[in-house]
Amino acid sequence: MLKRLKAKLNGDIHLKEILTGSAVTFVLKMSGMLLGYVVLLIISRQYGAEGIGVYNLTLIVMTFVAMMSTMGMNVSILRYVGQFNKSCEEYKLKLLYRYAVELVVPFSLLLAVGLYFFAGVIADNVFHNPVYKPALEYAAIIVPFMALQDISIEFIRGLKQLKVSEFLRSVNRPVINITLLLIIGLFIVDELLPLYTLGLGIIISALFAVFFIVKKLQKIVPESKIEFSKKELITTSFPMMIISVASFVMGNISLFMLEAFSTTKEVGIFSVALQIATLISLVLVVVNTISAPKFSELYWSKKSHELQKVISHATRLIFFSSLFMSIFIVIFSKSILSMFGDEFIIGSTALIYLMFGQLINSATGSVGILLNMTGHQKELQVIILITVIITIVLNIVFVPIYGMNGAAVITMLGTIILNVASAIFAKRKLMLTTYYLPIFTKELK
């Protein structure tokens, strides 16, 4: 069997590139996720489900504002770095990063000021919990650093420094957070302490990323005539921002609805269940990290058959690894949740619903990345926006009645609608099969 696998890899250079690149990324991503669960365990033991609720919801707000601050450049910058990272155009890299920083930092400061001064209004009128006021005020201070970190990490990723970018994205922040939580927690007991230590981790990661990029770009000699403008960067980035923001809203809207219509405790339990469920699509996330430039290369080179082979092999790998993880989580759902505390066990039903949505997400493969890389981001944008509207309406109707389990079902339905609709579009428009269903899906030779 090993010989057969080796022969297949040697015969398919594109698949081999994805899998070998995925190995390091998988280790770093898995390490980061495990460290993230350690952070949640520490918070749950110290501050319970409510503490996790405040931590996760504030982090979501912070991430959302930082995402808005980047204006989609955290996505488009990856494309441009790959495009310019050639000897004949390397000089544009300096200008690209300078433009990104000059645009993102001032805008992030503006949005951060807005968040700071409206923190009390959001805490009282949206979350109905005064503890969110100081939490959001602190989040506002961290937003510019998070935005800078996001564009810098993607710039490093575009340079094909995957070990560095994935370490900064997945590992560095939780390591700093855990270390500071354990040390400072010996002397201070404060519900907002996990947010304070998280913020310090983000600041350190952002500064390290900037330092790494500056060192890399020092050797590049700038050219006097450069055909690249801020306007071009903004024009390319904006549609990608809409897709990113819409996807983020769809994935997290249930948490906001739970805070508005239920309790912070339920928010904490649901957020833990949601993060456990994302383990199922871990291999999908890793493959997406590596496959984006490969999809683009094969599609625009009109190598459709080779592209289909890469997609098919990758989706099979994603599906079976996700299926194994799903079975494990179903069997041990209550035991896994009890690790965070007995009060989390009531989230087992919600966890199973969320898990099924992630399994469908894995079964449809890297369809979102494929549509983005093949110039169909506008169509993907429409699919996502329609799904977001459906999800918001269903949340408003059913979360007040069914609480956490209702939120889980709606999140599952939103995930299924988005991925199935995207897979159908890819099949009809691109004539590419991104999904894998055992027995029904034939393997390409």
Length of the chain: 445
Last residue of a domain, one of 228, 250, 271: 228
Q: What is the mean pLDDT of residues 50-59?
A: 86
CA distances (Å), origin 238, targets 68, 343, 368: 10, 42, 17
Domain count, the chain: 2
| Cα 200 off chain centre by | 20
In a domain, 84, yes or no: yes
pLDDT value, residue 13: 55
**pLDDT tops 60 at residue 1:** no
Tokens standing for residue 430? 């691109």
Q: CA-to-CA distance for 220 and 241, rounded, in angstroms?
A: 29
The pLDDT, as a whole number, for residue 440 is: 54
Give per-residue pLDDT as tens, 341-366.
888 888 888 889 998 888 888 888 77
- Sequence letter at residue 90: E
Higher-confidence residue: 29 or 172?
172
Give the position of tokens 């948490």.
Answer: 255
Same domain, 334 and 294: yes
pLDDT at 282 over 80: no
Tokens 């403008």 found at: 229
Q: What is the pLDDT of residue 23?
A: 64
Contact assessment for residue 394 and residue 317, using Cβ atoms and an 8 Å cutoff: no
Nearby residues of 146 by Cβ (< 8 Å), 6 or more positions away: 62, 63, 66, 202, 206
Is residue 112 scored above 90 in pLDDT? yes
Lowest-pLDDT range, 147-151, 206-210, 265-269? 265-269
Q: 136-173, pLDDT tens digit by residue?
A: 999 999 999 999 998 888 888 777 777 888 888 888 88
Is 201 a member of any domain?
A: yes
Instruction: Report the Cα–Cα distance between both ends of the chain, in Å, rounded.
Output: 17
Which H/E stretch holds residue 72? none
Note whether 224 and 136 are same-domain residues: yes
The range of the structural domain enclosing residue 106 comes to 43-228
Tell me how far apart the alpha carbons of residues 111 and 133 are, in angstroms, rounded to a whole number: 16
Work out the average pLDDT over 215-229.
68
In a domain, 36, yes or no: no
pLDDT of the residue at 108? 92
Q: Is 268 exposed, middle or buried (0-12, 13-18, 19+ CB in 10 A)?
A: buried
Q: Helices 264-277 and 348-363, interaxial angle, to 10°?
A: 40
Nearest to 107 by CA among 250, 239, 238: 238
What is residue 221's DSSP assignment?
P
Mean confidence (pLDDT) of the chain: 80
Question: Are residues 178 and 162 part of one domain?
Answer: yes
Res. 111 pLDDT band, cuts 50 70 90? very high
Q: Does any domain span residue 9?
A: no
Residues 223 and 240 in one domain: no
The per-residue pLDDT for 118 is 92
Q: Which tens digit of pLDDT belongs to each residue from 62-109? A: 988 998 888 887 777 776 776 666 555 667 777 778 888 888 889 999
- 267: tokens are 């928010």
Please list, in sequence order, all residues whose beta carbon lies within 8 angstroms of the beta carbon of residue 227, skipping any fewer than 6 positions away.
Answer: none
Q: For residues 121 and 73, give the distance between their C-alpha atoms in angstroms, rounded to a whole number.
A: 30
**Encoded tokens for 128:** 């109905």
Q: What is the pLDDT of residues 405-437, one digit of tens each?
A: 998 999 999 889 988 998 898 888 888 887 777
Predicted local confidence at residue 290, as pLDDT: 67
Residue 316 CA to residue 283 CA, distance in Å, equals: 11
Residues 243, 203 share a domain: no
* End-of-domain residue from the set 193, 228, 263: 228
Best CA proximity match to 247, nearest among 63, 36, 43, 107: 63
pLDDT of residue 225: 59
Distance CA 388, CA 380 (A): 12
What is d(CA 89, CA 206) in angstroms, rounded to the nearest whole number? 26
Q: How confident is the model at residue 330 (pLDDT cuts 50, 70, 90)?
A: confident
Owner of token pair 């309406």: 393
Res 291 pLDDT > 80? no
Asked if residue 52 and residue 82 are part of one domain, the reply reads yes
pLDDT of 439 reads 56
The pLDDT of 208-235, averaged and rounded, is 74
The per-residue pLDDT for 2 is 43
Say whether both 298 and 394 belong to one domain.
yes
Listed in sequence order, the residues at least 6 apart from 327 whose beta carbon sits closer than 8 Å to its beta carbon are none
